[in-house]
Amino acid sequence: MEIISENNFDIKNLTSFKIGGKIKKVFFPTNINEFEQILNEYKNIKVFGNLSNTLVSSDGYNGEIILTTKMNSVTIENTKLIADAGVKGPKLAQIVCEAGLSGFEFMIGFPGSVGGEVCMNASANSQAISDKLVSVTCYSPNSGIVKFSKAEMEFDYRTSRCQNENLIVLQAEFELEPAAQDDIQTKMNDNLAFRKAHQPSLALPNCGSIFKNPQGDSAGRLLDSIGAKNLTSGGVKVWENHANFIVNNNNGTSLDVLDLMVQMYTKVKENYNIELHPEIRFLGGNNEKENELCKILYKIK
């Protein structure tokens, strides 16, 4: 069976930022075997999930990428859960709630998918995806398909072994806890209410937190203190309710976002001598001005 792919793919409407140009070729594998086939042919292909924490250049990307959105198998056996990389967090939270299993209540408000959330050890409301994780099946550029235990994944705040070794999460196994469905639903409702109060709705296109929290401090606090909520660039601005969010309020471009990120980064560095590190990924390369800004933000040589 031929693997689903599209050429010259217009990606804008798939991204949370509602920003992005055309991608030369996009593959949509439906299972691990198809994923491995693509990776064997395209060794250094970039992989994305739900594009909820990715800024795609308005000038597009002249290469191939994989989107895991069609890898969405979920298996539940008693308290054991196995989920493919492309399963969306909110959908998974609802599925396990209906099964009377607790541990994923925090994911109800996350627009991302399992692969990205495991890779970055997503967390909120005193829960993290690594808490209930048993093992992860990944693709390694050097070793092919490999399986790691929780301990081997080297989880830390917003990071895991994936970043250091360029591992791609394909599937994850979790051990959840039985609980009353009503209690799980109540906790999810509380988490949604918290998120609604502290983060912009996706009706106002955004990519979540822009910068990681530095050790022992909060990026939001630092940005607020330097007046970031007053900063704008083109069609984007810093959200008025939280200084670590950028919203696309007027048909902004990727260059607008990167320019605003550099403004935020520079002011914090000038005032505190702290260099903030982006939490969002960038996909581009066709725009020289963007490339220059990325050298500042992502320390690209």
Q: What is the pLDDT tens value at each position of the chain, 301 positions in all?
A: 699 999 999 999 999 999 999 999 999 999 999 999 998 899 889 999 889 899 999 999 999 999 999 999 999 999 999 999 999 999 999 999 999 999 999 999 888 899 999 999 998 888 899 999 999 999 988 888 999 999 999 999 889 999 888 899 999 999 999 999 999 999 999 999 988 888 887 689 999 999 999 999 999 999 999 999 999 999 999 999 999 999 999 999 999 999 999 999 999 999 999 999 999 999 999 999 999 999 999 987 6
DSSP H or E run through 192 = helix 181-198
What residues act catalytically?
158, 209, 279
Closest CA to 101 of 21, 177, 157, 154: 177
What pLDDT, on the 0 to 100 scale, is given for residue 301?
62
Closest CA to 112 of 209, 240, 204: 209
What pLDDT, on the 0 to 100 scale, is given for residue 299?
87
Which ranges in the chain are annotated with CATH 3.30.43.10?
4-67
For residue 96, the one-letter residue type is V
Strand duo 123-124 + 133-140: pairing? unpaired
CATH architecture of the domain with residue range 4-67 = 2-Layer Sandwich (3.30)
Residues in the chain: 301
Which ranges in the chain are annotated with CATH 3.90.78.10?
219-298
What pLDDT, on the 0 to 100 scale, is given for residue 222?
98
Burial class (CB in 10 A: 0-12, 13-18, 19+), 191: buried
Q: 114: helix, coil or strand?
A: helix
Strand order in the sheet with 80-84: 74-77, 80-84, 168-175, 133-140, 144-149
Distance, CA of 34 to CA of 28 (rounded, Å): 9
Q: What is the topology classification, in CATH, of domain 219-298? A: 3.90.78
What pLDDT, on the 0 to 100 scale, is given for residue 282?
97
The answer to whether 188 touches 163, Cβ cutoff 8 Å, is no
Q: What is the topology classification, in CATH, of domain 74-198? A: 3.30.465
Contacts of 166 (CB under 8 A, 6+ apart): 140, 141
Which ranges in the chain are annotated with CATH 3.30.465.10?
74-198
For residue 145, how many other CB atoms are within 10 A of its CB? 15
What pLDDT, on the 0 to 100 scale, is given for residue 190?
93
Query: What's this model's pTM, rounded to 2 decimal places?
Result: 0.90
What pLDDT, on the 0 to 100 scale, is given for residue 203?
80
Closest CA to 281 of 219, 211, 232: 211
Closest CA to 91 of 73, 79, 118, 65: 73
Distance, CA of 26 to CA of 20 (rounded, Å): 14
